[in-house]
Amino acid sequence: MNLITKSIILSFFILFSGDLLAQETDSLNVLQKEDELVVDTLLQQDTLSLEKQLLLDEDLNDIFSEKMDSLVNTWYIENAFTLDSIDLTLIKNYPKNLPDSVYIERLQNIEQVIDLSYNNVVRNFIKLYTEKKRDLSEVIIGLSYYYFPIFEETLDKYDMPLELKYLAIIESALNPRARSRVGATGMWQFMFGTAKNMKLEITSFVDERRDPVKSTDAAARYLKRLYDIYGDWHLAIAAYNCGPGNVNRAIRRSGGKRNYWEIYYRLPRETRGYVPAFIAASYFMNYYGEHNLIANFPEASIDTDTIIVSDYLHFDQLAATLDMSKDELRSLNPMYRRDVIPAKPEKTYPLVLPEDKIMDFIDQDTLVFAYEREKYFPDNTLMKPTESSGYFTPVDIEGKAKVVYTVKSGDNVGFISSWFHVRASDLRYWNNIHRDLIRVGQKLVVYVPENQKTKYEKINSLTFAQKQETIGKSGSSSSTKKTESKPVDPNFIYYTVKKGDTLWDIAEKYAGISSTEIMKLNNLSNDRGLYIGQKLKIKRKS
């Protein structure tokens, strides 16, 4: 079986859709602004040496712990792995509170090109893998047996350190379908722009960021490019996570220092945990046996093979004719975004199936493609993609100008996106916005046509009414109109939404009130309908 076939087969090992870290500069700039205020104050204290700073024992485990917790909810883990099947003796008996000298000696004994420094931050990550998330770590170990040979062969092709394979653990925990909150996708967490720049195919139907072989090749080329810039693997790894712009700024603010640990507190918080997590992953994968961790392999057989398809094919057609689960098909074929293989005679694509289904497919070839064909491919054409699949595709910003908008009182994501004629989903993507929560004074990046940059820059100086008039609407928001047209009802309490509020948090403030009641009373479907400054009606309880 060739490497490509094997890599596609291994896509079946799906782990979790966690909140992973992005690679590009713009997405992290907004987050870094607030972080820098605290960091600059800390670094101005001359009494804090580098060593003392690192002994502050900064705990960054929350960034990586959350994505590991989401593992249990994935289809593949629920159906293929038994997380409690390992020997209970090993689970209960493993070394705890090892002295630092043990970790240091073991790290020094690992033969690697990349320096494996040790400090309290690294120790915290080692404990995350070896003590706090043991059952999930054992699944990662099992997956490494399959993915690491692919990584090593590709890294060797580009004469790169083979230990860079551990980056995929902290990027996605070896999950080819992983997707971060800002849109970074695949095992190597490529952002849309970087992936296109690295020549990965991304269309409405195919995303090669989720193809293990092609994404690994792109990651190796990108890492090599970053190393050529910095000549230091720690800096190259950091730049892979947060973008060269953030690393360059950290170097400049530190007076030109080019040692990762010397610019540590100048980097975004997410990136500060990135190199320590890489070092911890290197330790964990080399010494998991010493911590009584063993590989957890899937119980079900995963013998599969690959068929090359040269005509349109929908997963529903396969599921119906081959008696398969569509979830299983998605797990085997993660690069297809909308359950459709957009193959044509001039551009073929691979289809991975369980080995016991291969002959069924061959025997029923004509039947499979003909099954309800007019329904899935009317007039033998691809149907227009819809957003119902839940897979968001950000707009391409190549050739567009960047405008910075300052949030004003009364603004919300919907208003701002309409004024700039962009999708709300893109506005959220560009600025890492969660649950549509924005605050007054916040700087938002918006990408607009280059020839209309001046026009959109003027929006910053317009009043709310003037901005509404630019899109042919009244100068009052719907919430303002409701307040003006309806008198305050003494039977209700009116709550003003604040930054970070959720429906559950708000309900907790009022005895006998549930989040469901608030949703119904205010015509909300979920937390995404909330925005800062919004007035919510709360039923008074006697």
Q: What angle do CA 234, 173, 269 make, to 5 degrees?
A: 45
Catalytic residues: 171
| CA 297 – CA 300 distance, rounded (Å) | 9
Which residues are registered as beta bridge partners of 185? 179, 190
- Among 21, 16, 17, CA closest to 274: 21
- Among 54, 59, 212, CA closest to 148: 212
| CA 241 – CA 24 distance, rounded (Å) | 7
Strands 340-341, 349-354: pairing is unpaired
Residue 444: count other Cβ atoms within 10 Å of its Cβ. 21
Q: Structure tokens of 83?
A: 């997380």
Q: Structure tokens of 346?
A: 């001039």
Q: Structure tokens of 212?
A: 């293990």
| CA 35 – CA 28 distance, rounded (Å) | 11
297 class by beta-carbon count within 10 Å (0-12 exposed, 13-18 middle, 19+ buried): middle
- Among 397, 426, 402, 395, CA closest to 413: 426
Helix (H, G, I), strand (E, B) or coil at 206: strand
The separation between the first and the last C-alpha atoms of the chain, rounded to the nearest angstrom, is 72
- Among 445, 19, 28, 20, CA closest to 242: 28
| CA 445 – CA 429 distance, rounded (Å) | 10
Helix (H) / strand (E) containing 162: none
Whole-angstrom CA distances from 133 to 70, 72, 126, 138, 145 are 12, 12, 10, 9, 19
Helix (H, G, I), strand (E, B) or coil at 491: coil
Helix (H, G, I), strand (E, B) or coil at 64: helix
DSSP secondary structure string for all residues of 273-284 = THHHHHHHHHHH
| CA 20 – CA 432 distance, rounded (Å) | 12
Q: Structure tokens of 328?
A: 């299983």
Whole-angstrom CA distances from 406 to 109, 262, 462 are 52, 33, 11
